[in-house]
Amino acid sequence: MTSNSSKLLDKKSWQEFACGWGAAFINITVTYPINKVMFRQMLHGLKTKTAVAQLRSEGAWYLYRGMLPPLVQKTLSVSLMFGMYEQYKRIIHTNIPSMPGPLTNATAAMLAGTTEAVLAPCERIQTLLQHESYHLKLKNTAHAFSYVWASHGAKEFYRGLVPILLRNGPSNILFFWGREEVAKRWPTTSNPSLSLVRDFVGGALIGGAISTLFYPINVVKAHMQAQLGGPFHPLTQVWREVSRERGGWRKMFLGVHVNYTRALISWGVINASYELLKNLFVDT
């Protein structure tokens, strides 16, 4: 490989990380209040009107409380998701050129999702800050990190890591496979506005379906991470406990319509923003 082609590859790699970061930043600023409603439903099994009324009674300050951890986590996570997916694909192509394309893509997606799990502490702190029980105990993001570290140690940041790993890798495989299918089967257009709509709708449908599929795992994760201190319970035990408390596994999907709506908007924005930013980089 020539030095010029190597420089182009490095530039492209940097752009993929940057586009992922920018897409997630746009998304978080738009969808955070919806995510807050969904979290309360996950944790308490509330109906949408009840969750909205609860947040309204707490005021606008608490509505956006806890936004910094997901802003940091999601921007870095989506940056790693897109950037590392392409990086792992290149590594596999270079070292195992005989590997079939679909298997290469699935392996790269799984590895990228596993890499994202290094950001689990941000999800952990977001959960604590969103939980009304810790409103007085934890002042802000920095205080929450320092409090958890001082009181419970580094291990506490990784409570709920197993459901995160079970969610990240498989959902990445489905997401990137879905994007490729949309690119193959949906008509292309030279109109920038129609392309933006196409990317939004494609990302929305893929993200909404995947988010719904993995919703019960996120419910279990929320319950695991709502605990501060004490023993680390296995995922299967927490699943059984939550299912029993709610009166059956179907109640694990309580709030899924809000989750689906959020995911439609969120992944539509992410996918459309990512493609838009990529095109801007190509034009510059």
Check residues 243 and 173 and name the one with the higher pLDDT: 173
Residue 137 belongs to domain spanning: 3-283
pLDDT class of 282 with cuts at 50, 70, 90: low
**What is the number of residues in the chain?**
284
The pLDDT of residue 9 is above 60: no
Q: Provide the sign of the torsion angle of the four alpha carbons 173, 184, 7, 100, taken in this order.
A: positive
pLDDT class of 254 with cuts at 50, 70, 90: confident
Considering 46-60, 120-134, 145-159, the range whose residues carry the highest mean pLDDT is: 145-159
Check residues 235 and 251 and name the one with the higher pLDDT: 235
Number of domains into which the chain is organized: 1
Mean pLDDT score across all residues of the chain: 87
The pLDDT of residue 62 is above 90: no
Element containing residue 82 per DSSP (H, E): helix 68-95
pLDDT class of 1 with cuts at 50, 70, 90: very low
pLDDT class of 10 with cuts at 50, 70, 90: low
DSSP state of 46: -
The pLDDT of residue 239 is above 60: yes
The pLDDT of residue 5 is above 60: no
pLDDT class of 43 with cuts at 50, 70, 90: confident
pLDDT of residue 95: 94
pLDDT of residue 279: 86
Distance CA 130, CA 138 (A): 10
Q: Give the count of alpha carbons within 13 A of 68, CB side only.
A: 12
pLDDT of residue 32: 82
Q: What CATH number is associated with residue 24?
A: 1.50.40.10
Which range has the worst mean pLDDT, 210-219, 229-238, 258-267? Answer: 258-267
Q: Provide the sign of the torsion angle of the four alpha carbons 245, 251, 252, 256, taken in this order.
A: negative
Quote the pTM value. 0.81
pLDDT class of 11 with cuts at 50, 70, 90: low
